[in-house]
Structure 1
Amino acid sequence: MKAVIDSDVLIDFLKGVPEAKKELALYSDRCVSLISWMEIMSGTETPEEERQCRSFLMQFRVIEIGREIAEQAVMFRRAHHLKLPDALILATAHHAGCILVTRNTKDFTSKTPGIRIPYRLS
């Protein structure tokens, strides 16, 4: 199954959250939006953290943001009142024919087509 993995799930994986590890194991084709890649990389504070994150992210196909994704993001932003990064990540998943795996229940619901909210942290 193909999935675009959102930043929050990636961060959980890096922090050792078992649910995130189980979730990532479900997908044979794992992708990230360039937005999520940037969010993960900009959160590194040391050269070692940066090296580890780069190594981790190499197991994902990074989907660049082109004109088609940008156009779709504008439509999602208008229709669902999303912040631009969230609209871009959702548009990336739709463009790639993937589901979006996220914990972002503030902006997305499991009833939104193409969204999977696999777990919640207490």
Structure 2
Amino acid sequence: MSGNVLLDSNIIVYLAKGELNREQFFDDTNTYCISVISYMETLGFQFENEREKEFIQHLLSLFQMIYIDKKVADKVVAIRQQKKIKLPDAIIAATALEKQCVLVTRNDADFKHIDPNLRLLNPFVTETSENESEQ
């Protein structure tokens, strides 16, 4: 995978907690982005201590932040007119679609029926486990 990657809030938390290996997750061929929604969701999380909060703030500062512009807002409206979906998820999906990003999320089931052009990656699912679940 090469290009723009949009990280969902849950991926940021998993990275911060070490549940995803940061060295294996990131590479130099991608631009890593977050929606302003993911920024707000992640910092709204109840942190165990100040050190954890500071680490997540540092982690968030490493990503390009994508704000809600008119194109994203219009896409959100179109998505919500077609699908029953929470507003934050609609904003994240619309951002990925409009900015041509791969959306990295553990909650791929929440997004997979939104739009056939929405590219999803769940780093917790291997190709083998996807094939097994299809059988």
AA of the residue aligned to 1:36: S
Change (3 A) 1:26 1:77: farther
Greater Rg by CA = 2
1:69 to partner: Cα distance = 0.9
TM-score normalised to the size of structure 1?
Answer: 0.82
Change (3 A) 1:95 1:78: same
1:80 to partner: Cα distance = 2.6
SS of corresponding position for 1:3: strand
1:117 to partner: Cα distance = 2.3
State the 4+ residue runs in structure 1 displaced beyond 6 angstroms: none
1:18 to partner: Cα distance = 3.2
Candidates 32, 35, 45, aligned match of 1:30: 32
TM-score normalised to the size of structure 2?
Answer: 0.75
Q: Measure, in 2, the Cα distance between the counterparts of 1:20 and 1:78.
A: 37
Residue identity (%): 30
1:73–1:91 contact (8 Å) kept in structure 2: yes
Change (3 A) 1:22 1:109: farther
Matching residue of 1:95: 98
User: Which string of whole-angstrom CA distances, capped at 9 and with x for unpartnered residues, describes residues 43-84 of structure 1?
Assistant: 143443332111111110010112221110111122232111
For residues 71-82 of structure 1, the aligned pairs below 5 Å read 71-82=74-85
Change (3 A) 1:118 1:80: farther
1:13–1:21 contact (8 Å) kept in structure 2: no
Residue 116 of structure 2 corresponds to residue 116 of structure 1: no
Where does structure 2 lack aligned partners over 5 or more consecutive residues?
Answer: 126-135
CA RMSD of aligned residues (A): 2.3
Q: Measure, in 1, the Cα distance between the counterparts of 2:75 and 2:36.
A: 15
Change (3 A) 1:58 1:27: farther
